[in-house]
Amino acid sequence: MDDRVHPEVRRTATEIDTMETRGAATIADSAARALRTQATESDAADAEAFRAELRAAARALYETRPTAVSLPNALRYVLRGMSSTTVEGLRQNVVESADEFCARLERAQADLGEVGANRLRDGDTIMTHCHSTDALACVEAAVEQGKHIEAVVKETRPRNQGHITARRLDELGVPVTLIVDSAARRYLNDVDHVLVGADAVAADGSVVNKIGTSGLAVNARDRGTPIMVAAQTLKLHPGTMTGHTVDIEMRDTAEVVDDETLAELGNPTVKNPAFDVTPPRYVDAIVTERGQFPPESIVILMRELFGEGTSEPWAEPEARAEP
Ligand SMILES: O=P(O)(O)OC[C@H]1O[C@H](OP(=O)(O)O)[C@H](O)[C@@H]1O
- As a whole number, the mean pLDDT across the chain is 94
CATH 1.20.120.420 residue window(s) in the chain: 7-109
Q: Which residues are catalytic?
A: 130, 199
Q: Mention every residue, 6+ apart, whose C-beta is less than 8 A from residue 131.
A: 23, 156, 161, 162, 164, 165, 168, 197
Backbone angles phi, psi at 181, to 5 degrees: -55, -40
- Ligand 1 binding pocket, CB closer than 6 Å: 22-26, 130, 132-135, 161, 196-197, 199, 209-210, 274
Q: How many CB atoms are closer than 10 A to CB 26?
A: 16
* pLDDT of res. 310: 57
Q: Is 243 left (phi over 0), alpha (psi -120 to 50) or beta?
A: left
Percent of the chain with pLDDT over 90: 92
Does the annotation flag 210 for ligand binding?
yes
Distance 209 CA to ligand 1 centre (A): 7
Q: What's the CATH superfamily of 7-109?
A: translation initiation factor eif-2b, domain 1 (1.20.120.420)
- Tens digits of residue pLDDT in 40-53: 999 999 999 999 99
120-306 under CATH 3.40.50.300, yes or no: no
Report the residue among 70, 129, 194, 210 best suited for mutation to probe ligand 1: largest number of ligand atoms under 8 A from its CB: 210
**Pairwise CA distance, residues 85 & 24, whole Å:** 32
* Residues forming beta bridges with residue 126, ordered by sequence position: 151, 193
Of 211, 273, 203, the closest CA to residue 245 belongs to: 203
**Pairwise CA distance, residues 32 & 72, whole Å:** 10
Distance 304 CA to ligand 1 centre (A): 25
Buried b or exposed e, range 56-94, using 16+ CB within 10 angstroms: bbbbbbbebbbbbbbbbbbbbbbbebbeeeebeebbbbb
First to last CA, the chain: 14
**Pairwise CA distance, residues 319 & 179, whole Å:** 51
- Tens digits of residue pLDDT in 2-50: 889 999 999 999 999 999 999 999 999 999 999 999 999 999 999 999 9
Does the annotation flag 266 for ligand binding?
no
pTM of the model: 0.93
CATH 3.40.50.10470 residue window(s) in the chain: 120-306
- Tens digits of residue pLDDT in 104-125: 999 999 999 999 999 999 999 9
